[in-house]
Amino acid sequence: MNLMLFGAPGAGKGTQAKYLIEKFNIPQISTGDMLRAAITNGTAMGMEAKSYMDAGKLVPDSTIIGIIKERLGQADCKKGFILDGFPRTLAQAEALEELMKNMGISLDKVISLNVPDELIVGRITGRRVCSKCGASFHVEFNPSKVADICDYCGGELIIRKDDNAETVKSRLEAYHAQTAPLIAYYTDMGVMVELDGTKDVNEVTQDMFALLK
Ligand code: ADP
Ligand code: ADP
Ligand code: ZN
């Protein structure tokens, strides 16, 4: 199954991806996680991406398309995958279509998690992420079982550098200007399904699984 999780920053894509991994045993492909790994490893690509990410702007398409091309070619993607946070521009969506066409595969579903802007700031400022595996928690809405420790791997939970009220504003602007037009793109393609992302984490998961039956 080739899936995509779509939505504004903080809509819950990473959170729901974890449940899809468990259920379908397919990898999550998060461009944000891959960029953060590149920054941690001090690669040239990571250094270039960092300034955009810290400012809440999108990283250039050529960089993103390059990492996706390499990732989708890896063996574990053969049984399917969950795209999380990619594509974010029309150029990325078109590059993905071309790439998948060449691989002889197609998208089964694009799952949009709909959350209004007013709720996004609270989600992002309360987010805590695992420094080891990237799993996402929330101090109030989705706390880890033990404070500051990841439920999945025991790693330390941290606050992402870009998870602050100022950066959220530019990330939401980028989302509306550059990413939201993809809703029409995938609706026209006939693969778009929309979910109410304002419900509790578990309810969203149940709604999502119902769609995938
Ligand atoms: P969130 O889940 O909160 O939206 P991500 O981890 O997906 O955050 O992305 C963090 C940052 O990484 C984005 O603000 C952007 O700068 C960069 N980024 C991630 N994915 C992409 C992409 N597909 N295209 C351009 N920039 C991206
Ligand atoms: P994204 O990957 O779309 O940027 P995350 O999955 O990281 O979003 O979720 C953003 C924040 O909101 C995290 O702190 C997460 O724990 C929290 N969150 C996710 N889903 C929900 C939900 N349904 N209700 C309330 N908070 C949620
Ligand atoms: Zn972890």
* pLDDT reported for residue 76: 97
Identify which of 59, 65, 68, 164 to mutate to test ligand 1's pocket (most ligand atoms within 8 A of the CB): 59
User: Measured in angstroms, how far is the CA atom of residue 43 from the centroid of ligand 1?
Assistant: 17
Percent of the chain scoring above 90 in pLDDT:
99
Max distance between CA atoms of the chain, in angstroms, equals 46
Domain covering 2-116+173-211, topology: Rossmann fold (3.40.50)
Instruction: Write the secondary structure of 150-186 as one string of H (helix), E (strand) and C (coil).
Output: CCCCCCEEECCCCCCHHHHHHHHHHHHHHHCCHHHHH
120: confidence class by pLDDT, cuts 50, 70, 90: very high
Tell whether ligand 2 has an atom less than 6 A from the beta carbon of residue 32: no
Residue 142 DSSP class: B
User: Measured in angstroms, how far is the CA atom of residue 75 from the centroid of ligand 1?
Assistant: 24
Residue 147 DSSP class: T
33 Cα nearest atom in ligand 1: 6
Find residue 195's DSSP bridge partners. Answer: 113
Catalytic residue list contains 128: no
Helix (H, G, I), strand (E, B) or coil at 205: helix
Q: What is the pTM of this model?
A: 0.97
Cβ contact 43:70 at 8 Å: no
Element (H, E) at 96: helix 90-103
Which tens digits make up the pLDDT trace of 127-160?
999 999 889 999 999 999 999 999 999 999 999 9
Catalytic residue list contains 213: no
